[in-house]
Amino acid sequence: ATPFRWPAPEVLPPPCAGGFDVLVLGSGNSPSAPQLGHVLRRRCKPGSVVRKSDGLTVCEEAMANPASKNRRFNVAILLRYTSSEGGPVRHIMVDAGKTMRQAVLAAFPRVGAETIDALLITHGHADAMLGIDDLRDLQEMREVREDGKIVGFVPVGGGGPMQIISNRDTLERVKDTFPYLCGDVEMARPGVVLRRTAWLELKEVSDNDALSVAGLPVRLFPVWHGGTYISLGFAFGRKGDGGHPFVYISDVKELPPATMVWLEQVAQVGIEVLMLDCLSRRTHTSHFSLDESLDLIRCLRPARALLTGLCSCDVGDHDEVNAELAALRASE
């Protein structure tokens, strides 16, 4: 039999010194796409489904085509960052939802990523945090031996625990859901954990914090994800005086007035990429509709806008919607 060989990762050059890039791990809503209920019942929700030009629904096309762009995991991104001083590429993930494991298996090998340095969590819903249990497999540990016996474990490559960063309410939800990961870690001695398990550090931040994550500047800001429930938005990197090249808002229904003022100030300097929530063509209680997303894009005028969190059957086929939006942009 031919011996198995691990596929070689796609060769992607690292970001330039002081720069970062973004890999989309998922851009679907909480059920992801194709939706389980739609597939099992062999029909998409009547009254809201947007069919492709060939008559298929998005779920039908996604089921028939394993490489379909309409297959979408829960919303998540991976940022790759190289310090201005050089050194290894650092990896920062935003959200680890229900489909985190599948998303990592699909994307990380293509860029040679083996671990992450930190996880930012937008909010405490399942599609943003229920994959945290699998972080243990993103943290490679090596044995520490003394007199031939294993006395503990340390992360490969050195360093300490993996950071999970969010506001107080979200971290409390993480603790309630994963008490076995978030309690006190038994240490054999400083820097050496006694048992092979995920070594995590929960870092609480305020809703408007500015901080450095694995060396990358990040500015947090609150948005309302239904009522006054807060989900965090993130602005990454620095651009000019108060600008940020990449602004990410994955779960939003309304912008608090102070957040809107701040975003307009950032937009005056210039936003290169805005990635924005867009669940459906219809209005929804906790997510932007397509029209609401377009209204904010027109206001902030980024050089490029990307939509995420899509319920594909309610929005439409990836390529056809892209063509629709390109025509709209050209007309405006």
Residue 120: phi and psi, rounded to 5, are: -95, 135
If we measure between CA atoms, which residue out of 98, 106, 80, 100 comes closest to residue 23?
80
Element (H, E) at 23: strand 20-26
**What's the CA gap between 46 and 64, in Å, rounded?**
20
**At residue 274, does pLDDT exceed 90?**
yes
Residue 149 confidence (pLDDT): 94
Residue 147 has pLDDT above 80, yes or no: yes
User: Quick one: CA torsion of 224, 166, 91, 234, rounded to 10 degrees?
Assistant: 30
HSE-up (13 A, CA, CB side) for residue 169 = 11
Chain mean position to CA 173: 18
The pLDDT score that the predictor gives to residue 246 is 98
- What average pLDDT does this structure show over 154-168? 90
Residue 318 pLDDT: 94
Distance CA(132)–CA(76), nearest Å, equals 13
Cα 106 to Cα 273: distance, rounded to the nearest angstrom? 24
Residue 1 has pLDDT above 80, yes or no: no
Q: Which two tokens stand for residue 229?
A: 């429930």
Report how far residue 290's alpha carbon sits from residue 325's, in angstroms, rounded to the nearest whole number.
Answer: 10
DSSP state letters, 181-224: HHSPPPEEETTEESSSS--EEEEE--TT-EEEETTEEEEEEEEE
| Of the listed ranges 50-54, 107-111, 213-217, the one predicted with least confidence | 50-54
How does pLDDT run across 72-101, given as a tens digit for each residue?
A: 999 999 999 999 888 889 999 999 999 999
141 contact partners, CB below 8 Å, separation of at least 6: 153, 154, 155, 156, 193, 196, 199
- Characterize the bridge pairing of strands 76-81 and 20-26: antiparallel
Among 325, 310, 322, smallest CA distance to 34 is for 310
Inform me whether the pLDDT recorded for 53 exceeds 90: no
pLDDT of 3 above 90: no
The pLDDT tens digits for 234-248 are 999 998 788 899 999
The predicted pLDDT at position 42 comes to 82
In this structure, how many other beta carbons lie within 10 angstroms of the beta carbon of residue 304?
Answer: 11
Query: What pLDDT is attached to residue 41?
Result: 85
> Would you place residue 47 in the very low, low, confident or very high pLDDT band (cuts 50, 70, 90)?
low
Q: pLDDT category, 150, cuts 50, 70, 90?
A: very high
Which whole-number Å values give the CA distances from 270 to 82, 297, 301, in the listed order?
22, 12, 8
| CB of 320 closer than 8 Å to CB of 86 | no
> Mean pLDDT, the chain, as a whole number?
92
Distance, CA of 39 to CA of 273 (rounded, Å): 34
